[in-house]
């Protein structure tokens, strides 16, 4: 509340009282009305406005009584009182309307900020999803190409037959990588009104995946327990990618190791274990730091958590590396 509004109201009230003995109290009414209106508009507290209006009315009535003009002054004071109360009511109504409009503007601003924040969150989530998909879909083929190219260095001058086989594996892996990349880009480009493209990775291709690693020289065994059943698409794809990334890490970090894949269909979850017998932690091929800096394992954790599951990855005590995960997959879940 500023001093001008208080001062104008005090001057108008004093003017109304002074005008009563002069016989022209109506001359002060407009000033009294607008002074009270200004005061009401500037005040942020209804209680203050009410108390001030009551005090002003009391002063005006007291002035009428003390003026000794009888009924004329009393009538004028009642009219002035009505103007004071009307001005206070109008001012409070206008202020309440302004406050409501300000609140609506603030809500709209917050809603817009919320929508922008949600849009940014969705864009970030989509970027992470694309990064995981590209890493998992293409990464293991590139890893196999790297392994085969490394073997070529030793085979070119020693065994031309095996060298040609390695070249064939490189050709197959590079072709598969390009196909995975094409399918992933196709998923990103598809329109809502088109039929969705089937994900490249499904558990029905698990044998094919394992065969590609075996062809590159990695020894892999696979065991599936429990009655196999159709899984929700997200669970199916995630399980495939977790196995794919785990075997890719084995091929990159524990060349020559033997790996095993165990898949268990349980009533409420799909459990998987991928482990190898690579060098113990601290050896030349130690992967003890992979969980800290490798985006692949970070992506594996994110994939499992996104479905409400969990994943654990780390070195085995007896040497090698183990990945264990459980993904919710209740019997009869919507596909």
106 and 208 part of one domain? no
310 and 213 part of one domain? yes
Query: How does pLDDT run across 81-130, given as a tens digit for each residue?
Result: 666 667 667 776 777 787 788 888 888 778 777 777 877 787 777 777 77
Q: Is 128 within the bounds of a domain?
A: no
Of the candidates 112, 138, 173, which is a domain's last residue?
Answer: 112
Domain span holding position 267: 201-335
210 and 327 part of one domain? yes
Q: Is 181 within the bounds of a domain?
A: no
Question: Residue 32 above 70 pLDDT?
Answer: no
| pLDDT reported for residue 288 | 46
Query: How does pLDDT run across 53-81, given as a tens digit for each residue?
Result: 555 555 555 555 555 544 444 545 566 66
Q: Is 309 within the bounds of a domain?
A: yes
Residue 138, exposed/middle/buried by CB under 10 A (0-12, 13-18, 19+)?
middle
Rounded-to-integer distance, Cα 96 and Cα 29, Å: 25
| pLDDT reported for residue 257 | 85
| pLDDT reported for residue 189 | 59
Q: Is 19 within the bounds of a domain?
A: yes
Domain CATH for 268: 3.30.565.10
Question: Residue 164 above 60 pLDDT?
Answer: yes
Residue 69, token pair as written in the block: 């003009």
Over range 273-286, report the average pLDDT: 71
210 and 333 part of one domain? yes
| pLDDT reported for residue 263 | 95
Query: How does pLDDT run across 243-273, given as a tens digit for each residue?
Result: 988 998 888 887 778 999 999 999 899 999 9
21: Cβ contacts below 8 Å, ≥ 6 apart: 67, 68, 69
Among 196, 174, 187, 310, residue whose Cα is nearest residue 242: 310
Q: Is 232 within the bounds of a domain?
A: yes
**Contact (CB, 8 A) for 257 and 319:** no
Of the candidates 94, 112, 130, which is a domain's last residue?
Answer: 112
| pLDDT reported for residue 290 | 45
More confident residue, 134 or 39: 134
Query: How does pLDDT run across 165-175, given as a tens digit for each residue?
Result: 767 777 677 76
Residue 307, token pair as written in the block: 């479905």
| pLDDT reported for residue 242 | 92
Q: Is 71 within the bounds of a domain?
A: yes
**Contact (CB, 8 A) for 242 and 304:** yes
Strands 310-315 and 269-276: unpaired
Q: Is 194 within the bounds of a domain?
A: no
More confident residue, 46 or 242: 242
331 and 224 part of one domain? yes
Rounded-to-integer distance, Cα 102 and Cα 268, Å: 52
Q: Which of 52-56, 105-109, 185-189, 301-305 has the lowest mean pLDDT?
A: 52-56
Of the candidates 59, 93, 112, which is a domain's last residue?
Answer: 112
Q: Is 188 within the bounds of a domain?
A: no
Q: Which of 188-202, 227-241, 268-282 has the lowest mean pLDDT?
A: 188-202
228 and 335 part of one domain? yes
More confident residue, 39 or 66: 39
pTM exceeds cut of 0.85:
no
The domain tally of the chain equals: 2
């Amino acid at each position: 509340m500023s001093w001008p509004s208080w001062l104008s109201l005090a001057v108008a009230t004093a003017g109304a009282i002074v005008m009563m003995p002069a016989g022209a109290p109506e001359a002060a009414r407009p000033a009294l009305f607008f002074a009270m209106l200004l005061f009401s508009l500037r005040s942020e507290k209804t209680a203050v406005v009410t108390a001030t209006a009551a005090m002003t009315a009391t002063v005006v009535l007291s002035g009428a009584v003390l003026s000794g003009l009888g009924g004329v002054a009393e009538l004028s004071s009642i009219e002035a009182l009505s103007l004071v109360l009307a001005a206070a009511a109008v001012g409070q109504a206008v202020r309440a309307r302004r406050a409501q409009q300000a609140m609506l503007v603030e809500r709209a601003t917050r809603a817009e900020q919320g929508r922008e924040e949600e849009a940014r969150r969705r864009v970030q989530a989509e970027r992470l999803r694309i990064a995981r998909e590209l890493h998992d879909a293409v990464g293991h083929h590139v890893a196999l190409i790297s392994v085969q190219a490394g073997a070529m260095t030793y085979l070119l001058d020693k065994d031309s037959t095996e060298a040609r086989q390695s070249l064939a594996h490189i050709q197959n892996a590079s072709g598969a990588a390009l196909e995975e990349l094409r399918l992933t880009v196709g998923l990103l480009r598809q329109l809502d009104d088109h039929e969705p493209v089937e994900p490249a990775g499904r558990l029905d291709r698990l044998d094919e995946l394992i065969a590609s690693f075996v062809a590159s020289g990695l020894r892999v065994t696979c065991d599936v327990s429990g009655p196999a059943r159709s899984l929700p698409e997200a669970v199916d794809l995630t399980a495939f990618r977790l196995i794919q990334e785990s075997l890719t890490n084995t091929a990159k970090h524990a060349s020559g190791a033997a790996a095993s894949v165990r898949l268990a269909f349980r009533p409420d979850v799909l459990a998987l274990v991928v482990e190898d017998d690579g060098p113990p932690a601290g050896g030349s091929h130690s992967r003890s730091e992979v969980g800290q800096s490798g985006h692949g394992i970070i992506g594996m954790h994110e994939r499992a958590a996104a479905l409400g599951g969990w994943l654990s990855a780390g070195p085995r005590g007896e040497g090698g590396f183990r990945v264990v995960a459980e993904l919710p997959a209740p019997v009869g879940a919507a596909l």
